[in-house]
């Protein structure tokens, strides 16, 4: 039996052939190494992220999350729900809080769920994978499994918005969360404490609808990483990762910059530090190759 | 009588009450103390015609049309900076989502507001199979202004698409079916019921 076991909510972008399939592959590797078993919530649905509000009112949106929690309570009894996507985590946790505070909302969502014979108890803890790493496993234990320290790798820890606000990680500040830096240091890398854009918004879903405004912010996020001497940006958030990585060509064309900054996930850093190869760490999923990290993985 | 006219009749001269009754977390609006920290904290702050604290004062001043037809609340990126900094702990992000949803419900959203459009496309895309189809979502963006400009946009972003395919982070298979929940009719029944309950409540206020 695995040492840790959770009910897993992977989310749309984590699926095969989707934009953060590299996150889910690297998380699988990481969980193998850390002896974590993830039981996918059977037949989970989209949470509608933080952009569904134009199409869905409060009750329909909250009910999307209610269905996921109810399915988890039915099939993965007694297991905390763990999400790897910031928006999935936020939407589910937010829905749970609202059901807790608003009995009418809870009653209404259960009326809707009854249409498919489901019932929400709302007793399940909703957690982010980062919380599992920090609270359940801990830096010390993570550090003890490092086989290939990320020596000389300068990492700009880009926490972003929704892994950090409004819930964030217990004991961390909203303005200057340190956990990503601590994790990098634990893995033998060099965190950049002066990376001032660590909680700057990348535009989120507005990167699609308001690309000019969003790319201006993304430009700043990358520029600061260069100014701080980073080899790589690391993030826990799938939308942050995609937004900051994939538009660098467009940003270069508009701003005359020559950005070619790799953006990776914390899970990929752990995979490599634990001695796994570039493929297991899903470094083949980079659009901008993380050359230095690949070199460490190939050692 | 449209829902909009119904609401105007019912809440004549009291837009604050209308917001409190019908907008997500609207009961918090009166708690704003006008400090402006939200405006200063918003990453797209300079693009808002009326930053949140101004919107809150306008609601209290009964500026119904100006608020509901504004594109300000559609500038919210859901970064939650305003929420964690607000000294009075107003759930500002949610109020902005709520105002946007309410304005859209009443048909008052400015035409061709890109985020209003995108949020509906996202919702419809997601409700088809219960999970987002990223490829179709991307294509609907490129083809939003018709076929000709769609082809132009697609060519412009061709390299991005090729990069994503090569990294296996975009799949042509999504065009033909793609991911989804097992029994979509079950999910659709649930959400339809939720919509019925919510719509009935809002319409009953307007009467």
- A53: nearest CB among B114, B119, B187: B119
CATH number of the domain where residue A162 is located: 3.40.50.11810
Per residue in A14-56, pLDDT (tens digit) is: 999 999 999 999 999 999 999 999 999 999 999 999 999 999 9
**CA–CA gap between residue A190 and residue B100 (Å, rounded):** 43
Q: How far is A236 from chain B (nearest CA, A)?
A: 15
Q: Is residue A136 part of a domain?
A: no
| Residues A258 and A152 placed together within one structural domain of the fold | yes
Q: What is the pLDDT of residue B12?
A: 77
Q: Is residue B67 classed exposed, middle or buried when 0-12, 13-18 and 19+ CB atoms within 10 A define those classes?
A: buried
* In chain B, domain spans: 3-109, 114-195
Q: How far is B180 from chain A (nearest CA, A)?
A: 8
Interface membership of A253 toward B (CB under 8 Å): no
Q: What is the pLDDT of residue B207?
A: 62
Q: Is residue A79 part of a domain?
A: yes
Q: Which residue has the tokens 């309410």?
A: B102
Q: How many separate domains does chain A show?
A: 2
| Residues A40 and A165 placed together within one structural domain of the fold | no
Per residue in B73-103, pLDDT (tens digit) is: 999 999 999 999 999 999 999 999 999 999 9
Interface pTM (ipTM) of the complex? 0.96
Contact, A96 vs A126, CB < 8 A?
Answer: yes
Interface membership of A250 toward B (CB under 8 Å): yes
CATH code for residues B3-109: 1.10.1060.10
Which phi and psi (to 5°) does residue A22 adopt? -70, -30
Q: What is the pLDDT of residue A52?
A: 96
Q: Which residue has the tokens 């019932």?
A: A119
User: What DSSP state is assigned to residue A187?
Assistant: T
Q: 3-state DSSP call for residue A143? A: helix
Which strands sit side by side in the sheet containing A4-9, from one edge to the other? Answer: A36-40, A4-9, A81-83, A126-128
CA neighbours closer than 13 Å in the CB half-sphere of residue B118: 23
| Residues A121 and A157 placed together within one structural domain of the fold | no
Q: What is the pLDDT of residue B3?
A: 85
- A165: nearest CB among B84, B104, B119: B84
- B168: nearest CB among A17, A57, A246: A17
CB contact under 8 A, A249 and B179: no
| Residues A233 and A125 placed together within one structural domain of the fold | no
Q: What is the pLDDT of residue B178?
A: 87
Q: What is the pLDDT of residue A121?
A: 98
- A209: nearest CB among B93, B118, B173: B118
Is the four-CA dihedral B133, B138, B140, B143 of positive or negative sign?
negative
| Residues A74 and A163 placed together within one structural domain of the fold | no
CB contact under 8 A, B132 and A249: no
| Residues A289 and A156 placed together within one structural domain of the fold | yes
Q: What is the pLDDT of residue B10?
A: 82
CATH number of the domain where residue A87 is located: 1.20.1050.140
Q: Is residue A233 part of a domain?
A: yes
Q: What is the pLDDT of residue A133?
A: 98
| Residues A72 and A17 placed together within one structural domain of the fold | yes
Strand A154-157 relative to strand A232-235, pairing: parallel
Low-confidence ranges of chain B (pLDDT < 50): none
Q: Which two tokens stand for residue B99?
A: 């105002």
Q: 3-state DSSP call for residue B13? A: coil
Contact, A45 vs B187, CB < 8 A?
Answer: yes
**CA–CA gap between residue A223 and residue A197 (Å, rounded):** 9
Interface membership of A19 toward B (CB under 8 Å): yes
Which residues from B are below 8 Å from A209, CB to CB? 114-115, 117-119, 141
Q: Is residue A202 part of a domain?
A: yes
Low-confidence ranges of chain A (pLDDT < 50): none
Per residue in A220-251, pLDDT (tens digit) is: 999 999 999 999 999 999 999 999 999 999 99
Count of all residues that appear for chain B in the document = 207
CB contact residues (below 8 A), chain A span 69-108, against chain B: 108
**CA–CA gap between residue A118 and residue B30 (Å, rounded):** 38
Q: Which domain holds residue A19?
A: 4-129
């Amino acid at each position: 039996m695995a040492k840790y076991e959770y009910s897993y909510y992977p989310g749309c972008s984590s699926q095969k052939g989707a934009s953060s399939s590299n996150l889910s592959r690297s998380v699988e590797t990481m969980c193998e190494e850390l002896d974590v078993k993830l039981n996918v919530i059977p037949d989970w649905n989209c949470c509608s992220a933080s952009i569904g509000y134009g199409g869905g009112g409060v009750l329909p949106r909250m009910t999307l999350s209610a269905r996921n929690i109810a399915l988890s309570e039915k099939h993965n009894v007694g297991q905390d729900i763990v999400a790897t996507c910031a928006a999935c985590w936020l939407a589910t946790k937010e829905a749970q809080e609202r059901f807790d505070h608003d009995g009418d909302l809870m009653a209404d969502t259960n009326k809707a769920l009854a249409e498919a014979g489901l019932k929400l108890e709302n007793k399940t803890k909703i957690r982010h994978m980062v919380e599992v790493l920090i609270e359940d496993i801990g830096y010390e234990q993570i550090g003890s499994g490092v086989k290939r320290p990320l020596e000389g790798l300068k990492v700009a820890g880009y926490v972003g918005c929704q892994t950090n606000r409004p819930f964030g990680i217990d004991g961390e500040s909203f303005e200057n969360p340190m956990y990503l830096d601590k994790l990098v240091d634990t893995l033998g890398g060099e965190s950049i404490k002066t990376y001032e854009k660590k909680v700057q918004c990348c535009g989120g879903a507005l990167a699609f609808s308001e690309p000019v405004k969003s790319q201006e912010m993304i430009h700043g996020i990358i520029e600061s990483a260069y100014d701080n001497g980073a080899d790589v940006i690391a993030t826990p958030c799938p939308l942050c990762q995609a937004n900051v990585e994939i538009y660098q060509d467009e940003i270069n064309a508009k701003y005359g910059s020559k950005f070619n900054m790799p953006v990776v996930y914390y899970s990929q850093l752990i995979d490599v530090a634990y001695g796994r190869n570039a493929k297991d760490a899903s470094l083949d999923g980079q659009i901008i190759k993380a050359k230095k990290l690949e070199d460490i993985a190939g050692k | 009588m449209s829902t909009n006219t119904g609401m105007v009749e019912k809440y004549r001269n009291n837009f604050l009450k209308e917001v409190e009754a019908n907008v997500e977390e609207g009961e918090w609006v009166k708690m704003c103390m006008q400090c402006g920290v939200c405006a200063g904290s918003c990453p797209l702050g300079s693009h808002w015609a009326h930053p949140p604290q101004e919107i809150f004062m306008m609601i209290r001043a009964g500026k119904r049309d100006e608020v509901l037809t504004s594109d300000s609340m559609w500038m919210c990126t859901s970064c939650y900076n305003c929420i964690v900094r607000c000294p009075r702990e107003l759930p500002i992000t949610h109020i902005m989502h709520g105002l946007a949803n309410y304005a859209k419900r009443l048909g008052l959203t400015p035409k061709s507001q890109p985020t209003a459009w995108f949020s509906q496309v996202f919702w419809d895309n997601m409700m088809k199979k219960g999970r987002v189809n990223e490829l179709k979502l991307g294509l609907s963006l490129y083809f939003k202004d018709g076929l000709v400009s769609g082809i132009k946009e697609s060519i412009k972003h061709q390299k991005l698409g090729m990069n994503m395919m090569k990294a296996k982070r975009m799949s042509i298979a999504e065009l033909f079916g793609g991911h989804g929940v097992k029994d979509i009719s079950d999910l659709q029944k649930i959400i339809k019921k939720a919509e019925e309950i919510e719509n009935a409540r809002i319409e009953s206020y307007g009467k």
